[in-house]
Amino acid sequence: MRSPAVLRVLALVAAAFLGFDGAALAAFGFWFRHPVVALIGLCLFVSSGLVLLSLRRQARRLEEIAAARRELRDEVEALRRLLRG
């Protein structure tokens, strides 16, 4: 399994790539009066924002999971102390 830092970097690279391509395609579409190309470019640009939002959501969920694991570990330690007397 890859580390969270590597996955974060890959997501940022993907978002940057989509954002740049979307902006360039939209500019090309507007410049040469091709509305379909401009629309596709805008869709790509918006999708780069969605990638960033999903990355943020994933980071929040991973933090929640880590907090739950810490709470569970503390509870297990308390039960062990109780059983040992």
What's the predicted TM-score (pTM) here? 0.76
Per-residue pLDDT of the chain (85 residues; tens, 9 = 90+): 568 788 889 999 999 999 999 999 999 999 999 999 999 999 999 999 999 999 999 999 999 999 999 999 999 999 999 999 7
Any idea where the domains of the chain sit in the sequence? 4-84
21 to 7, 8, 40, 77, 84: CA distances (angstroms): 21, 20, 10, 52, 62
